[in-house]
């Protein structure tokens, strides 16, 4: 390792999980070619890595927010490219980060282009849970989840975060931004054992949130995919929901009959597994796996979102290979306009795939899914997908702050 070459991260080697860092190199020869590498190991022991070629300027410096990558995992000026372009050493793998208390460590290094000698190295510690944020497991009534509370006495805007499998990352990161967030999973049991869904469970969670240092009796809901459809149904049928973020959701109830107060309110739109398209990698493309929600025989599956009193943020990825998210969002917008409603915003992202996450995680194109025994292609071109995640994460926070504002929030 060279004593002259310096690799630095600004403003600090420690940051929150969703924050960018400035990557700078100094002490190189004028116009020296180097390879920069990123690597991490997730909570399941899977290694992710990336690399890019850079040329130093005349003063021997490289700044990733100024200088373009000349080749490797990405090209062009990408300040966080070494992070989002990392790929796993195991096929069909998504990064797993389940331990919120330990940071995700990302090691960055600079190597001589000619002999691959390491010239400098630095470790970035990326924390999910911010200073003063409390994580409280909840077992109250039927609710099984985790509550995240920002530091201070509140009151705070409150959000119900629904996930298909146990994942607290998004909820925790929202709590860092000043929201009380209750994270619960959609399915109490294994997906294959679920026979029906009940909105009463989510209503109980919303009622719980109303008494958790919040500044309003109006609650936000966020979810993706099948959970997005559940979030829409909550807004349509359950009182007290003011803001819903539906990410790559469907405009119809999906997979299971939906009940509320012991009455069937929506039949399920069925999966047509014969429409799964195999790829050479072994993963399947599921874009057309759902029946057409606008077909006459599926009228009883459509979610009556025009009944909702609150506001919607519809989000669609245009390279979603799981189902036709853009078409579903367009149909929802058309439905609301037909009912003379203007309580919505919509945003779509060309080149983005189904799994829109908080920013700077390695992009996942395919991994296992609870829907089918085969791994699923989620879609997305890494660079466009990463840019979409940065934009959407800010958009989500602005949307919730606008519609869940607390006059006395800290």
Rounded to whole angstroms, how far apart are CA atoms 323 and 281? 19
Could you give the angle at the alpha carbon of 333 between the alpha carbons of 327 and 336, nearest 5°? 140
- Any catalytic annotation for residue 348? no
Q: Which one is catalytic: 320, 324, 325, 363?
A: 320
- Any catalytic annotation for residue 319? no
280 Cβ contact list (under 8 Å, min separation 6): none
Helix intervals (H) in 153-272: 169-176, 199-209, 226-237
331 Cβ contact list (under 8 Å, min separation 6): 251, 293, 294
Cα torsion at 379, 381, 386, 389 (round to 10°)? -40
The partner residues of 162 in beta bridges, in order of sequence, read 184
- Any catalytic annotation for residue 354? yes
Given a contact cutoff of 8 angstroms between Cβ atoms, the answer to whether 140 and 205 are in contact is no
Rounded to whole angstroms, how far apart are CA atoms 313 and 186? 20
Q: Which one is catalytic: 49, 85, 109, 225?
A: 225
Rounded to whole angstroms, how far apart are CA atoms 241 and 255? 23
Q: How far, in whole angstroms, is CA 67 from its chain's centroid?
A: 28
Query: Cis bond leading into 155, ω under 30°?
Result: yes
Q: Which one is catalytic: 92, 311, 354, 385?
A: 354
User: Beta strand pairing status for 219-224 and 158-163?
Assistant: parallel
DSSP H or E run through 336: helix 325-338
- Report the 10 Å Cβ neighbour count for 264: 11
**Three-state secondary structure call for residue 392:** helix
What residues are labeled active site?
225, 320, 354
């Amino acid at each position: 390792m060279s004593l002259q070459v310096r690799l630095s991260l600004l403003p600090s080697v420690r940051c929150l999980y969703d924050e960018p860092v400035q990557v700078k190199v100094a002490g190189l020869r004028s116009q020296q070619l180097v390879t920069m590498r990123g690597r991490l190991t997730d909570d399941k022991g899977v290694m992710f890595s990336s690399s890019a070629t850079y040329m130093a300027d005349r003063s021997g410096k490289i700044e990733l927010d100024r200088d373009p990558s000349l080749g490797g995992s990405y090209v062009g000026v990408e300040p966080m490219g070494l992070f989002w372009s990392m790929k796993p050493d195991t096929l069909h793998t998504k990064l797993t980060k389940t331990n919120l208390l330990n940071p995700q460590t990302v090691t960055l290094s600079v190597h001589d282009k000619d002999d691959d000698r390491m010239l400098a190295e630095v470790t970035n510690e990326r924390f999910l849970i911010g200073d003063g944020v409390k994580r409280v497991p909840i077992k109250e009534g039927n609710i099984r989840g985790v509550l995240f509370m920002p530091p201070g006495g509140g009151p705070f805007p409150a959000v119900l975060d629904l996930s298909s499998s146990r994942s607290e990352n998004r909820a925790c990161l929202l709590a860092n931004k000043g929201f009380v967030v209750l994270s619960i999973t959609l399915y109490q049991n294994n997906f294959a054992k679920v026979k029906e869904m009940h909105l009463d469970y989510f209503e109980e969670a919303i009622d719980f949130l109303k008494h958790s240092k919040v500044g309003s009796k109006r609650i936000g809901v966020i979810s993706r995919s099948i959970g997005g459809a559940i979030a829409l149904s909550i807004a349509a049928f359950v009182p007290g929901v003011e803001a819903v973020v539906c990410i790559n959701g469907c405009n119809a109830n999906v997979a299971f009959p939906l009940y509320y107060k012991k009455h069937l309110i929506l039949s399920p739109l069925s999966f047509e597994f014969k429409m799964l398209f195999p790829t050479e990698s072994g993963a399947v493309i599921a874009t057309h796996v759902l029946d057409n929600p606008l077909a006459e025989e599926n009228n009883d599956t459509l979610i009556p979102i025009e009944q909702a009193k609150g506001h919607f943020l519809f989000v669609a990825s245009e390279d979603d290979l799981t189902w036709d998210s853009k078409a579903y969002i367009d149909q929802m917008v058309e439905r609301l306009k037909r009912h003379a409603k203007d309580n919505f915003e919509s945003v779509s992202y060309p080149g983005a795939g189904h799994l829109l996450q908080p920013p700077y995680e390695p992009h996942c194109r395919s991994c296992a899914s609870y829907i089918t025994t085969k791994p699923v292609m989620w879609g997305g071109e890494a660079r466009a997908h990463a840019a979409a995640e940065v934009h959407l994460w800010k958009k989500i926070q602005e949307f919730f702050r606008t519609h869940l504002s607390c006059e006395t929030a800290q």
